[in-house]
Amino acid sequence: MYTTELDKNRAPDPAAPEDPALLAAFEARVAADEFIEPKDWMPQAYRRTLTRQISQHAHSEIVGMLPEGNWLTRAPSLKRKAILLAKIQDEGGHGLYLYCAAETLGTSREEMIEALHAGRAKYSTIFNYPTLNWADIGAIGWLVDGAAIMNQVPLQRTSYGPYARAMVRICKEESFHQRQGYDLLLAMVRGTPEQKAMAQDALNRWWWPSLMMFGPPDDNSPNSAQSIRWRIKRETNDELRQKFVDATVPQAQLLGLTLPDPDLKWNEARGSYDYGAINWDEFYAVVRGEGPVARERMRARRKAWDDGAWVREAAAAYEAKQAANRAAA
Ligand SMILES: [Fe+2]
Ligand SMILES: [Fe+2]
């Protein structure tokens, strides 16, 4: 619905200096918690940051469909299969809302997809880890969608209007995703000892990568201050990570599972849990594209794009025919 604005919004020369009066007016609007809309003036750095952030977010939604899609044919019951199918379809929808929101900033969806497939664009590091057993589907819903919610709830008030509005609906669906993952694990921990062991194994593998989803620590996150000043972000990476740990520990206790962190303990003075050191070398290696299944994911994504070419061609042919009919009428 926003694509007709593309030509008008085509980004101006990024090297051109910003007009100080326009910049001051923009900063005042952001400080007053007004939404910035596609046709409004905005600094080039704001447009670039948002284009990168929203498109990475969109890529994460659609790449995230791949590890779960692998398990659709192996779901243990019709009920679980229907739930998983609905969740994966939701993620495809999230990708669509987000590509639309990013397009309002002047980059076409085709350009964004091309950047993803060429390896120039990033997506969440978490999807470069393999899904080895059925309990992984529960752990992804509980932890990965849980971490996503923690990140996304404040984005409902991000300063760019189309992004904020997309997040409202996405957050509602993410909370269903989180609940279905937790429900799956609850069924497994109440099952046989082998099933409970599978749930523990999944938690052991997904816990640390989930904490990494919040991004690098604040003292190594150079764009954070600017993003907070422009109200693109409302909370820092470390603040969100801490909130996630505090919310998740009691949920793990209820499942009767152990979080794989010997340093995790309640800190009475802070009113929060302390947690152990995150392996940032692993995080940066995955960011560089060295994740355990990074190549496999990109191969699957490119294949899905190629296999879907006939659908895009058919839709375009249908649209052209409708337009011709309208013109003839
Ligand atoms: Fe999603
Ligand atoms: Fe989700």
Q: Indicate if the pLDDT at residue 247 is higher than 80.
A: yes
Stretch 166-172: mean pLDDT: 93
Q: Which residues, 6+ apart, have CB-to-CB distance to 311 below 8 Å?
A: none
- pLDDT, tens digit, for every residue of 189-236? 999 999 999 999 999 999 999 999 999 999 887 777 888 889 999 899
- Give 217 Cα–ligand 2 centroid separation in angstroms: 24
pLDDT for the residue numbered 3: 43
Question: How far is the centre of ligand 1, averaged over its atoms, from the C-alpha of 91 (Å)?
Answer: 4
Of the listed ligands, the closest to the CA of 166 is 1
**Burial class of residue 187 in the structure, from the number of CB atoms within 10 Å of its CB (0-12 exposed, 13-18 middle, 19+ buried):** middle
Q: Closest-lying ligand to the alpha carbon of 145? A: 2
> Token digits for 221?
């996150």
Distance 145 CA to ligand 2 centre (A): 5
Distance in Å, CA 260 to ligand 2 centroid: 24
- Nearest ligand to the C-alpha atom of residue 147: 2
Buried b or exposed e, range 75-111, using 16+ CB within 10 angstroms: beeeebeebbeebbebbeebbebbbbbbbbbbbebee
Share the mean pLDDT of the chain: 93
How many whole angstroms from 140 Cα to the centroid of ligand 2? 9
pLDDT value of position 14: 58
Ligand 2 centre and the CA of 256: distance in Å? 24
Is residue 267 over pLDDT 50? yes
For residue 103, the CA-to-ligand 1 centroid distance in Å is 18
Spatial separation of the C-alpha atoms in residues 168 and 180, rounded to whole Å: 19
**Positive or negative, the Cα torsion across 117, 100, 108, 122?**
negative
Classify 100 as helix, strand or coil.
Answer: helix
pLDDT digit string, tens, across residues 49-81 = 999 999 999 999 999 999 999 999 999 999 999
Q: Is the pLDDT confidence value at 243 over 70?
A: yes
Distance CA 280, CA 263 (A): 17
pLDDT on residue 12: 53
Output the pLDDT for position 16.
72
Q: What pLDDT sits at residue 309?
A: 95
Instruction: Give the pLDDT score at 329.
Output: 85
Task: Pick the ligand that lies closest to the CA of residue 176.
Answer: 2
* pLDDT exceeds 90 at position 25: yes
Cα of 123 from ligand 2 centre, angstroms: 14
Quote the pLDDT of residue 17.
83
Identify the pLDDT of residue 4. Answer: 42
Per-residue pLDDT tens over the stretch 134-146 = 999 999 999 999 9
* pLDDT for the residue 15: 64
Q: Which phi and psi angles does 170 have, rounded to 5°?
A: -60, -40
- Inter-axis angle of helices 44-63 and 109-117, nearest 10: 60
